[in-house]
Structure 1
């Protein structure tokens, strides 16, 4: 049988906020954006709403709810990361295959596959398109925009961001960078 709660959630939260930090620390989570903290706070609120005195102490229930919610979020983030990583690898392989097919056997500067995988792993899809069309195929910005059905300004933006990222990855000076 549920009994009336004598404290508000705000009061309970102030008393138990350290449980969130404890669980974050125990799970080795670095929460730069506060995402895990807010998820743990939500778990605490749900636990507060569902709590039944007959089931045991509220503090134990809080610890259980917070820890499991954080573990679920870690698993979700890991799955998302793996899917994104696989997609990037597929796109990189596709772009490398397209890049290699544009060269003939007489070309002496066939791109190094490891180098391109490294370069493409840091870029978004649109930035990869810019690298492929502008650097590898030497297309003008207007032609890239027409080919991709976007504005010239969008293509310039892709290039600007790609150059910024490539400066951090690549130690090579180029007329495009």
Structure 2
């Protein structure tokens, strides 16, 4: 296990990666089929795979999440991120190409940032109906944009 940490150039969180390796070894033991190949080769691949998967997961997490000091209040950050959302006036030229239901979906989704289940509850329709509104609106908007 420690040799695998060196091979993968893992320099921190050794205990977490060792645990992932042990899980990989345990899964190897559970799923090994002697007819398909020797145990050591399969164990090597399985342990390495678990560690690489954990490495990718950590890398993606740190790439997607920015960490900053506590200088800003969370409410201020939220206001800044919501400032890019369009309003109804911005969408007006596009809305006249859509049916009333498709317009509802665009406004609720783009302006009010509502999920399909929330829109469905508001208009007392099924989630699948809202998804059909979305499908129609996106198809018309794509055609309009070309």
Range class of TM-score, shorter chain: 0.3 to 0.5
Q: TM (normalized to structure 2)?
A: 0.46
Q: TM (normalized to structure 1)?
A: 0.39
